[in-house]
Structure 1
Amino acid sequence: MWRKILRPFGVVSSLGILLGAICFFTALSPSLVPRSGLLQGVLAGCCFAAGYGIGVLIASLWKWLELPVTRTDIHRRIYFGALAIGAILILAALILAAGWQNDVHRAMNLPPVESVRPFTISGVALVVAAILLAIGRLFRRAARTVSSRLSGHLPQKIAILAGVLAALALFNFIGSEVILGQGFKLFDKTYARVDATISDDTIAPADPLKTGSSASLLDWNTLGAEGRKFILATPDAEQISAITSRPALEPLRVYVGMGSAEDADTRAQLALDEAIRIGAFERKVLVLATPTGTGWMDPSAHFPLETLLDGDVATIGVQYSYLPSWLSLLAVPEYGSESARAVFLAFHDYWAALPADSRPQLYLFGLSLGAMNTDLSYDYYDIVDAPPNGVFMAGPPFTSRSWNQITHDRDAGSPAWLPTFRDGKVVRFMSQKGVPDHGTVWADTRILYLQYASDGIVFFSPSLIWQRPQWLDQPHGPDVSPKLRWFPVVTFLQVGFDLLTATSTPRGHGHVYDGGDYMEGWNAILKTERPPEERESLREAMKAQDL
């Protein structure tokens, strides 16, 4: 009777039920970032479906290999035993969920939660799991349909295998070409409209030294939404002097939007021409800043840079996408690296040809996807004769080339979430605790990574499905729950959700980098050595602006 009731929902595998319940239980355990009850329910439903699917797959392979099975009466006991154990595990997870969430909250100095809404979690999880299991049943039906058609012409096992492969091909086509393909087109149109929108308060600047002014080589309307914000947010000399109590210049900012030119090389040349026009190469420091996927330039990173240098700095940004970083990485990953490389080559060639004693110091900066593309903008052969003075990268995505190699080859005994690489002579890592003192002299060309241990964008990896990550070795990072554990498959999904919600954390955690941490990073890499009281004054000014 119970099998007939449960059969429409696909819950007929005792092993699937048991593994699904185990995955549900572990899904609610601590991960990197806090979650709402709704998001916990979505994650728990996905994990239950994944566990159930694995159980069904194991049972199907067992049957396909014609291995021995239990008697009917024993199988019935196992089935109802699995249901009972599964129910106990799910109930226990809902009871423990609030405590687990509070472990994550404590790690980020957040107030505790009274409840994580167990009814919300269970209700949402039920809906999500039912949808995913229904898709799984459609897959099985498609595979069986193909295999039954082939069974008269092929051996049974071969026919079953061919049916599974055919179903995989069909679902892959629907998922990648139909759903994702159309989804990307929709996202592209939506974000293109957002990027082109000009609000009433974004009037083109009158100052001839600002990009988009009447004297500029670039039309204000072509800068994109983020470019216009970046130019208008430039602090003035008075604002900087109020913090430092020293005379200051107004910083120079150049921004080229995607609408300014059709290809990366032309946009890079436009940026160079505009930089020359406004005297960017006459400043003390020149920064090539690669934006995030949407073209965003984080004010929390640029305000402390400009204040520490008393405004004697020019910052260059060139847009390569208007999609969010994760979409840009999936849809057009090559655009960012092509743009960053074009900008670097254009500026570096011009800069390297200037007299060494009169040209500005050259720094590279990137946040998130911008960090990955900054790393891809140059190679050894480009800079061996004239290296930049430093490279500062914040929140590098897990796919970043050099970051992966450096983390893998870190000095023995240093944690993966804050590596030491070759005694910190060239490359150093920092967290919320500042830049560690390695007891060695930092080279003239300094490379610095800012990353938080709770940043899923940095620490996600496909290998989490089957392999425990080294960043979970003791001790954990300062903002990571000490109760976070690795579970096959589940941790992959947990950190995958953390990746997608990494910007929902409080400032100074996850993928929301704090202006105070940027300040400490810039102070170290620029060798400005501002006194602690001045840095504290700057920190307070940034807090007042929520930077």
Structure 2
Amino acid sequence: MAAHEASPPDIWGGSRPSSAQTGLLIASALTSETFAPSLAPRSAVDQGLVTGLSVASHYLVAVAAQDALSGLAERLVGSTFLVGSPWLPEQHRTRVLEISVDLLAVPVGTSLALLVPAAPRERTVRALARFAACRVALSGAAGASLDLGHAGAVHLDRTLGLSGTFARVPLSIPLGAGVAYVVERNRSHQQLPTPDLESVSSNTRLVSVLVAGGVVVGLSGFAAAEGLLTRRLGDALHQVLPGTTGFWRVVARGASLGAVSTAGVALWDRAMQRIETATLTDEARIAGLDPTTVTTSTVSGSGRSLVPWDTLGREGRRHVLSRVPTRPAAAGGTVDAREDVGAPPRPFVDALVGPATDSPDFSIETVMGRPAVAEPVQVYVGLDSAPTPRDRVDLALAEMERLGAFDRSLLVLVSPTGTGYVNYVALAAVQYLALGDVATVTMQYSKRPSPLSLGKVSVAREQNRRLWMRIVARLREMPEHRRPRVVVFGESLGALTSQDVFVDWGTIGPAALGIERALWVGTPRTSRWMTEVTTPDRLEVDPDTVVVVNDYPQLEELGPERRARLRYVLVSHDNDGVTRLAPDVAFSRPDWLSPEARTPRPAPVSSDVPVSPRGTPPWARWRPVTTFFQTLVDMKNAQAPGPYRAWAHDYRPDLVRFVSAVYDLPADPEVLRRLDHVLEAREELRETLIAHAEERRRAAEERSPTTVAP
């Protein structure tokens, strides 16, 4: 019996590969996939961030899964039914059980994943369970591979008498690199339509790798420092206070993480304060300039307004200054601010870039070929215009009464983006098509960019709901023949915050608030209302009244009868990262990456109608964790300023026809084509004016460094 016990080959010498090595193997193997193209090209720095964050996340998940498997093996080592087993020698019990658990994790994890297959609109818990099962199986396979590889290396060392030469070689990175090479070689042979669709060109791969390495090293350094601090502090507390070392290390870890969280919150608050302070600077406001000379009596901030000019903020001031003039400027040099040309008003242009600037005639009368019916009303209540949401609602209602918003035939309820921005093209389009007989009302809820304003969604939802309910009550007091039609417009986070008012009410919600129609562009994928109305067989949803489209020709393809029943239209470009990103993309394949969604859908060729590329690019694939970070970067890049085109998160060229169709403001095709050119020209002029104003502001600061910009 003793001879039998000594006979098994001693190939389990040395320590077992750690969970960290398993994590390195998996992270190394999955590095190549981070370079795969997604919705849009990425810069070298962006690629480095995607690779670094993805690799770090894969590593952490793998380590956690391997730790769980190792913990299970340790519990089995002490099990009574294995003690004294003749087939499991005592000296090999731990290693045999560890590798057995790893090997069993592969079929068990795979089977569990197959038991919960992916389903449309599945619950998060279900998707997480499948993801966890797959990762356990993957970690088991990686751990077993390292164990077997290590055993083989030990056996080879002893056969050749090399005293552990091969056993000391870490296998995780070479094995991972080999797998990554195979994956990359297979991907590189896939045919892409054009070379520019490659995520990163070969000459920038080095930069990407360096950035990724910096991210991984930084995260690893932080984790190592935090772990060292926890151990040292825990041991120190154990020396002076009762309790075990393990207990005080847990306390120390909580204290260190709490300190890190406190520092992070402080840094976040400071960064947000700087961002919000920047929105108070106004390059459109020149020292000594009287706001009443550059505004009309029907916009907020004017002499007649209840909203002080100084409380509008940068985006609010830009908003009221971008109104469309109703009539051409009078011949000669002197122009009254209420009758001037272009966008913004002539005195404002003179103040910015000098009286010699020639501004084209963008008045309603000139562009539409007909006199304006009324002066457009633009109500804008800034975040600083009143202290609370309720006060801002009261102020907005009073402002609507004072400026005559209820006297217009069309009332547009606008929810802005995070900074308070309202799409100038959408605003101008509705003012042109309504011949000025329109009022818009907007309330700001944040001063931060939309990605940093997610915590303000509840504030926006609440003040929108309060205002819109008060408007409904006000309209019911009016004779029916005098009531304006009520519509909604929202873009990006503004779309989400306005849709949130109707959550759990489906398409009944807007109708209950007297809202006749709505146009939303660039709706974030996290919108609960959008999920509701696009889910089949919901009692509170009339599917004939709502649609999600990529472009206007797609709307036309629905046919006249279907379009006649539509009331709520969501325009979401298929290559817009904002409309694609959601947390569950990390662990569950979204519908926009299904094989059906990646089927090429060519858009009609037309020189008149702007069309964003349709469908998900056929080269895009869902990759757990990695796709989330790729789409996160796609979202960032989609919002970057760029040329005037229907692409990603830029919906400006789409808006003329959608505003006309959705708000029932019909116009001839020739008029729509004319508006296409006019609105693009207005955008170019606006951007030029802002750039010139910024140059003048910087020049003034350089001349007078102590002067605070107004």
TM-score (norm. length: structure 2): 0.65
Partner of 1:536: 673
On the 8 A contact 2:38/2:617 being kept in 1, the answer is: yes
Kindly provide the CA deviation profile for residues 29-80 of structure 1, in whole angstroms up to 9, marking residues without a partner as x.
1122321111111211111222222333333333323342537553656965
Could you tell me how far apart the structure 2 residues matched to 1:346 and 1:99 are? 61
2:587 to 428, 451, 466: 466
Partner of 1:321: 446
Residues 184-263 of structure 1: matches in 2 within 5 Å? Answer: 184-199=268-283, 201=285, 203=289, 204-206=291-293, 207-238=296-327, 239=362, 240-248=364-372, 249-263=374-388
1:500 and 2:620 correspond: no
How far residue 353 of structure 1 moved from its aligned partner, in angstroms, is 2.1
Could you tell me how far apart the structure 2 residues matched to 1:245 and 1:77 are? 85
User: What RMSD over aligned residues (CA atoms) do the two structures have, in Å?
Assistant: 3.7
1:84 to 156, 160, 174: 174
What SS does the aligned partner of 1:371 have?
helix
1:492 to 1:175, Cα distance in 2 relative to 1, 3 A? farther
On the 8 A contact 2:29/2:175 being kept in 1, the answer is: no
Could you tell me how far apart the structure 1 residues matched to 2:472 and 2:309 are? 26
Partner of 2:209: 122
Kindly provide the CA deviation profile for residues 208-246 of structure 1, in whole angstroms up to 9, marking residues without a partner as x.
223212221111111111000000011112423333222
Could you tell me how far apart the structure 2 residues matched to 1:279 and 1:96 are? 65
Could you tell me how far apart the structure 2 residues matched to 1:543 and 1:410 are? 41
Kindly provide the CA deviation profile for residues 57-115 of structure 1, in whole angstroms up to 9, marking residues without a partner as x.
333333323342537553656965542344456678999999999769867xxx99865
Partner of 1:3: none
Partner of 1:295: 420
Partner of 1:47: 54
On the 8 A contact 2:547/2:566 being kept in 1, the answer is: no
Residues 70-469 of structure 1: matches in 2 within 5 Å? Answer: 70=147, 72-74=150-152, 80-87=170-177, 115=202, 117-138=204-225, 140-141=227-228, 169=254, 173-174=258-259, 176-179=261-264, 181-199=265-283, 201=285, 203=289, 204-206=291-293, 207-238=296-327, 239=362, 240-248=364-372, 249-330=374-455, 332-378=456-502, 387-409=514-536, 424-434=543-553, 435-439=555-559, 440-442=561-563, 446-469=567-590
Residue identity matched to 1:438? L
1:337 to 1:201, Cα distance in 2 relative to 1, 3 A? same
How far residue 116 of structure 1 moved from its aligned partner, in angstroms, is 5.5
How far residue 21 of structure 1 moved from its aligned partner, in angstroms, is 2.2
1:194 to 1:247, Cα distance in 2 relative to 1, 3 A? same
Residue identity matched to 1:429? V
Could you tell me how far apart the structure 2 residues matched to 1:170 and 1:268 are? 43
Partner of 2:647: 509
Q: Which one is further off, 132-141 or 273-282? A: 132-141
Name the larger-Rg structure.
2
- 5+ long unaligned stretches in structure 1: 1-9, 412-420
Partner of 2:655: 518
1:348 to 1:317, Cα distance in 2 relative to 1, 3 A? same
1:486 and 2:622 correspond: yes
How far residue 164 of structure 1 moved from its aligned partner, in angstroms, is 9.4
On the 8 A contact 2:44/2:200 being kept in 1, the answer is: no
1:23 and 2:30 correspond: yes
1:61 and 2:199 correspond: no
Could you tell me how far apart the structure 2 residues matched to 1:167 and 1:436 are? 63
Kindly provide the CA deviation profile for residues 159-212 of structure 1, in whole angstroms up to 9, marking residues without a partner as x.
6xx799768755653554431x11331133213322222335465133322321
Kindly provide the CA deviation profile for residues 472-504 of structure 1, in whole angstroms up to 9, marking residues without a partner as x.
122337264211001111112222232333302
Residues matched between the structures, number:
518
On the 8 A contact 1:42/1:124 being kept in 2, the answer is: yes
On the 8 A contact 1:46/1:132 being kept in 2, the answer is: no
On the 8 A contact 1:456/1:511 being kept in 2, the answer is: yes
On the 8 A contact 1:187/1:323 being kept in 2, the answer is: no
On the 8 A contact 1:30/1:103 being kept in 2, the answer is: no
1:269 to 1:409, Cα distance in 2 relative to 1, 3 A? same
1:386 to 1:369, Cα distance in 2 relative to 1, 3 A? closer
Q: Which one is further off, 401-410 or 133-142? A: 133-142
Could you tell me how far apart the structure 2 residues matched to 1:104 and 1:260 are? 51
On the 8 A contact 2:545/2:568 being kept in 1, the answer is: yes
1:471 to 1:545, Cα distance in 2 relative to 1, 3 A? same
On the 8 A contact 1:25/1:92 being kept in 2, the answer is: no
1:228 to 1:97, Cα distance in 2 relative to 1, 3 A? farther
Residue identity matched to 1:40? Q
How far residue 14 of structure 1 moved from its aligned partner, in angstroms, is 3.8
Could you tell me how far apart the structure 1 residues matched to 2:593 and 2:619 are? 10
Give identity over the alignment, percent.
26
What SS does the aligned partner of 2:412 have?
strand
Could you tell me how far apart the structure 2 residues matched to 1:95 and 1:304 are? 50
Residue identity matched to 2:628? F
How far residue 363 of structure 1 moved from its aligned partner, in angstroms, is 0.7
Could you tell me how far apart the structure 2 residues matched to 1:52 and 1:133 are? 10
1:532 to 1:281, Cα distance in 2 relative to 1, 3 A? same
What SS does the aligned partner of 2:523 have?
coil
Could you tell me how far apart the structure 2 residues matched to 1:136 and 1:289 are? 45
Partner of 2:6: none
Could you tell me how far apart the structure 2 residues matched to 1:99 and 1:178 are? 47
1:272 to 1:64, Cα distance in 2 relative to 1, 3 A? same
On the 8 A contact 2:518/2:663 being kept in 1, the answer is: no
- 5+ long unaligned stretches in structure 2: 1-16, 75-96, 100-146, 154-165, 328-361, 599-612, 685-710
Could you tell me how far apart the structure 2 residues matched to 1:200 and 1:427 are? 39
Residue identity matched to 2:520? M
On the 8 A contact 2:468/2:513 being kept in 1, the answer is: no
Could you tell me how far apart the structure 1 residues matched to 2:189 and 2:203 are? 9
Partner of 1:7: none
Could you tell me how far apart the structure 1 residues matched to 2:98 and 2:182 are? 34
Kindly provide the CA deviation profile for residues 291-322 of structure 1, in whole angstroms up to 9, marking residues without a partner as x.
11111111122122222222221111111111
What SS does the aligned partner of 1:487 have?
coil
On the 8 A contact 2:298/2:375 being kept in 1, the answer is: no
1:475 and 2:475 correspond: no
Kindly provide the CA deviation profile for residues 392-438 of structure 1, in whole angstroms up to 9, marking residues without a partner as x.
11122222121122233389xxxxxxxxx988521122213442443
Could you tell me how far apart the structure 1 residues matched to 2:465 and 2:195 are? 40
